Amino acid sequence: MKAFLLALALCCLLAASASGQTITSIRIANSGCVYTVGISTEPCPIGPGMVLHVYGRGFGAIGGGVGLCDCPDMTTTQWSDTEVTGIVGVVTGPPSSIVLETWGGGYSNAVSYYALAPLITEIDVGSCSYIPNRSKNLCAVGVGEAITIHGNYFGPPQGQVATCDCAAATIQSWDPGWPVNASPYDNTIVAIANQAVCGSTIMVDAGYMWSNPVPYTTCAAP
């Protein structure tokens, strides 16, 4: 009798384990980075717009959600019991982790990742263009001036642009290409400066993470 009960308990334990929501690995399509639970030691870098594949078991046939922070889930494009694919919207950290929630409300194990902050690669103000760590002359920014900001990992939802420790710039457009071509690269923001301070910088806040600071001047070029 004891042997029967022990076998029954073991059988139930294995069944529960088999039906549990478990992430075994993830892959980032854009970079090719793969993280395998229990084997990999370095988390994959992930930014908004990247295509994320989540592999495992017990995900269920009906779509649930995949969260990368205490924020909206990523946009799911494919869901099966063993694989989920989607486009990352918001990242934050540290700590940063991926958790899958099934349709019935079950949660998977957490898988760590490295959140990529927005990166400004160029700003345009009028006819002036400035590339960080490459351009010699700063662009002049004045109150009411339109600033076009180019870079990576801006993503949705709309964040903010700071021109100083003051009122945020007014956003005219935020990565308008996202709805038709969600991408982590070549993102664009257009913002109007509400204040400009000599010696300050332009920064982008996307998903609660700040970009690299890009300096500007308040004096027009001679």
Sequential DSSP letters for 130-186: E-TTT-SSPPB--TT-EEEEEEES--SS--EEESSSSSPPEEEEE-TTTTTS--SSS
pLDDT digits (tens, 9 = 90+) for 24-66: 999 999 999 999 999 999 999 999 999 999 999 999 988 899 9
pLDDT at position 8 is 32
Q: Are 216 and 124 in contact (CB under 8 A)?
A: no
**Given a cut of 60, is residue 17 above it in pLDDT?**
no
Q: Mean of the per-residue pLDDT values for the chain?
A: 89
Measured distance CA(194)–CA(182) in Å, rounded: 29
Q: Under 8 Å CB-to-CB from 80, ≥6 apart: which residues? A: 59, 61
- E strand residue ranges, 89-176: 97-101, 111-112, 114-115, 119-125, 128-130, 146-152, 160-162, 170-174
Q: What is the mean pLDDT of residues 118-134?
A: 97
Of all residues in the chain, the percent with pLDDT exceeding 90 is 77
Going by C-alpha positions, the residue among 179, 119, 167 that lies closest to residue 143 is 167
Going by C-alpha positions, the residue among 215, 176, 192 that lies closest to residue 126 is 192
Two tokens at 170?
A: 């007014």
pLDDT at position 172 is 97
pLDDT at position 104 is 85
Half-sphere exposure of 16 (CA within 13 A, CB side): 6
**Given a cut of 50, is residue 206 above it in pLDDT?**
yes
pLDDT digits (tens, 9 = 90+) for 56-99: 999 998 889 999 998 889 999 999 999 999 999 999 878 899 99
The amino acid at 151:
G
Domain ranges of the chain: 18-115, 119-215
Query: Candidates 2.60.40.10, 3.40.190.10, 2.40.50.100, 2.40.30.30; correct CATH number of 119-215?
Result: 2.60.40.10
pLDDT at position 220 is 66
Instruction: Point out which residues pair with 191 in neighbouring strands.
Output: 147, 171
Q: What is the mean pLDDT of residues 3-16?
A: 34
**Given a cut of 50, is residue 107 above it in pLDDT?**
yes
Class of domain 18-115: mainly beta
pLDDT at position 164 is 93
Q: Coil, strand, or helix at residue 118? A: coil
pLDDT at position 98 is 97
Q: Are 42 and 56 in contact (CB under 8 A)?
A: no
pLDDT at position 6 is 33
pLDDT at position 71 is 85
Cis preceding-peptide flag for 176 (omega within 30 of 0): no
Higher per-residue pLDDT: 125 or 11: 125
